[in-house]
Copies of this chain bind each other. A is one copy, B any other.
Amino acid sequence: MTDKLFEIVEEPILLEDMIKKVKRREAGAITTFIGTVREFTKGKRTVFLQYQAYKPMAEKMLAQIGKEIEEKWQDTCVAITHRVGRLEITEAAVVIAVSSPHRKAAYEANEYAIERIKQIVPIWKKEKWEDGDEWIGDQLERIEYPTGQPNIKE
């Protein structure tokens, strides 16, 4: 890991490292979200996932989400790392860490981050099943763009 707050990596993400990035003397709460590879989705068994990112833009978009959060929730500090490549069941694809003086903001900002990641960050996953594979888009994930486009500016 590096000191970068917003990062696309190929190696496993270490939770303790993520905590270190946002730990501060003024924080009373740190929330983390770990998106893990689930074995069954709608009854279908996943063998593994393959993630691909448009890395430089993805890191920019993660940083933009961090900026949005710092504007919406004062005194929060955010770090997000998304992993790409082949991921096995139970492995972490994304980790979001938010520190804040008070807990409410830490929960809200964290949930906001994952929603935004699923809207604007150029990362794609390919599901490998026992009988085939497919790149997943919003049709399957049911993320709806009411305007036909992601909400670029929040």
Contact = CB atoms under 8 A, between A and B. Distances in A.
Given A19-B34, A31-B33, A107-B107, A90 B39 contact: no
Interface string A99-111: 1010100110011
Given A15-B19, A19-B15, A103-B114, A33 B24 contact: no
Contact of A15 (B16, B107, B114): B16
Contact of A31 (B25, B26, B32, B40): B32
Given A16-B15, A107-B107, A110-B107, A27 B38 contact: yes
Q: Can you tell how many copies of this chain the complex includes? A: 2
Report the interface size class on chain A: 20 to 34
A101 B25 contact: no
Contact of A36 (B16, B23, B39, B107): B23
Interface of A: 14-16, 19, 23-41, 89-90, 99, 101, 103, 106-107, 110-111, 114
